[in-house]
Structure 1
Amino acid sequence: MTRALPDIVTFWRGPLDQLRQTCLHSQLAAGHKVTVYSFDPLPGLPDGVGNADAEAVLPYCFSERLRPPQPDGSWRDWTTLQFSDFFRIRLMAQSAGVWLDADVLLLQPIRIDPAKPYFAWERGRQIGNSVVYLPPADPIVAEFEALMQQDELTPNWLSLSHRVTYGLRRLRGGSKRLSDIRVAVYGPAALTALARRHGRLQHVLPKKSFYAVHAEPKAFFDRSDFSGIVSDPDIIGLHISPKGRGALPPVPGSLYGWAAERFGPRAP
């Protein structure tokens, strides 16, 4: 069966650092149409990458249901991450393409069966949501769409540990917003629970498809022998966990250095 080369879509706020620019360049180099959604103009957006209005996908005011903004209107702590968890599902409902986080470096093109989900194990029992495709009629999309109709945004698939944490916080007089209990409550944990509920686990790709260096950022940022990674046909891309290093210059002899030389923005 012929698999399709999908469009790539993502969401971003603020300037794009060199790491994200490099990753977006790699997605273009793999032959994909790439679109970054935003509420404001994006400084540093690479040539060839499209920019679309995020408001048309998920209104800005939805962020206030996660938590109130700062007095100056800026988003607090986890708001951007959790907003993007919902945003990517809205893109799936609109058949916009495959979601890739802006820090996913592609080593080869992504090809999908548009009728089937596409994602990969991030670790032992958790699916990552930095690379996600769902057909618009998929029940996982429907579950998120139903959740977004609720005022409290409390999922019916919430894990026991999250329910206990949430209950204890309410009893102690803490925040009554579920979004405050953990940054990833609507992210990989939710995707994993729903994939299990709806029989989607058979579609999950092996961990190394996209997460070969995710938990070990030194393997990307520090000098190393990375030849086995870039030559492995089973590694489609790399989701990178920058941990504050995205704006630092690449270290010579590192995988990041190799990627910046091959895909990175060129000086004028």
Structure 2
Amino acid sequence: MRTDIVTFWHGPLDALRRLCLRSQVAAGHKVTIYSFDPIAQLPEGVENAEAEPILPHSFAERLRPMTDGVWIDRTMLQFSDFFRMRLMAKQAGLWLDADVLLLRPVEIDPAKPYFAWEQPRQLGNSVLYLPSADPIVTAFEALMAQDELTPDWLSFRHRFTYMLHKLRGTRRISDVRLAIFGPAALTALARRSGELQYALPKKSFYAVHAEPKLFFEPRDFSPLVGDGEIIGFHISPKGRGNQPPVPGSLHAWAAARFGA
């Protein structure tokens, strides 16, 4: 089944993410990006929807205080960890981060989870689908009903770290580790619910994630685009989102294929 693609963004979109969104549309998916404010320069075929009905802006205050309503990058990252789970609960579609470049359509079984290994022992949540009644979704729903947002799936190491932080005055679990609600949480919950069996191989989406030079620098990228098991690339530009494509790079190839 070719499902709708959904994501969340806060602030302006850079050129790299607009390129990735175009690739998702080109793969034949309906793409919706949720935001609190209208997003300018969205690619043709990408819809912009209100984020507030899915998860209120005020939820960010439970993660970390804001100054004059301004979010920092950590706030957006952690907020999006919860936002994607709310979308799963509402059966909105397949979550793709805005920096996932698709080479081909994504086909899912709506009754089964869909994700891939990002590291040898950790799942990625940049590509995620879960049935609405999945144990991972219900675990996040239960977490969000708490005041302190303290997961019951924390590893011993994270519980110990949090205890030390509390002794030093830290009260929010969100301050302990940046990705505490992200891939580490997904991996722990998938293990607890016996769903690791559904994980796709790392190269399905994360072939260039840990090595961005494979995307941004000139090299022979034909083995990547010619590999039928690679569905897309999670790029994670890390400040290079508006960098012009370098001739001979995978970035330049993608810009030529999907439009600069």
Name the structure 2 match of 1:8: 5
Name the residue aligned to 2:253.
Answer: 258
Q: Which secondary structure does the structure 1 equivalent of 2:52 belong to?
A: helix
TM-score by length of 1: 0.96
| RMSD after superposition | 0.8
| Partner residue, 1:230 | 225
Aligned to 1:104: 100
- Displacement of 1:172 in angstroms is 2.1
1:239 to 224, 227, 234: 234
In structure 2, distance between residues paired with 1:22 and 1:194: 32
- Cα deviation per residue 1:60-102 (whole Å; 9 max; x = unaligned)? 11111001111x2101341100000000000000000000000
SS in 1 for 2:19: helix
The aligned counterpart of 1:18 is 15
Q: Secondary structure at the match of 2:139?
A: helix
Q: In the alignment, what sits opposite 1:199?
A: 194
The correspondence for 2:154, drawn from 151, 158, 166, is 158
CA distance in 2, matches of 1:204, 1:76: 31
| Alignment of 1:50 onto 2:47 | yes
Of the three residues 212, 217, 224, the one matched with 2:207 is 212
Cα deviations by residue, 1:167-189 (Å, 9 ceiling, x for unpaired):
1111123x210001111000000
Match of 1:177 among 169, 172, 181: 172
- Gapped regions of structure 2 (runs ≥ 5): none
Distance 2:168 2:65 in 1: 21
Other-structure match for 1:127: 123
Q: How many residues align?
A: 260
- For residue 91 of structure 2, what is the aligned residue in structure 1? 95
Between the aligned partners of 2:110 and 2:249, the Cα distance in structure 1 is: 35
Flag as ranges the 4+ runs of structure 1 deviating above 4 A. Answer: none
| Contact kept? 1:68, 1:76, Cα under 8 Å | no
CA distance in 2, matches of 1:264, 1:164: 49
1:141 to 137, 141, 148: 137
Query: Which whole-Å CA distance do the structure 1 matches of 2:250 and 2:72 have between them?
Result: 33
**Contact 1:105/1:238 (<8 A) preserved:** yes
| Separation of aligned partners in 1, 2:82 and 2:73 | 16
CA contact (8 A) 1:18 1:264 kept: no
CA change 1:77–1:13 in 2 (3 A) is closer
Deviations 1:120-169 (A, max 9, x none): 00010000000000000111100000000000000000111111111111
Q: Distance in 1 between matches of 2:144 and 2:117?
A: 25
TM-score (normalised: structure 2): 0.99
Amino acid at match of 2:175: D
CA distance, structure 2, for counterparts of residue 176 and residue 133 of structure 1: 31
Give the 5 Å matches for 1:61-76. 61-70=58-67, 72-76=68-72
Identity in percent: 71
Instruction: Assess, with a 3 A threshold, how the Cα gap between structure 1 residues 124 and 33 changes in structure 2: closer, same or farther.
Output: same
Letter in 2 for 1:44: Q
Q: Tell me the distance in 2 between the aligned counterparts of 1:88 and 1:24.
A: 17
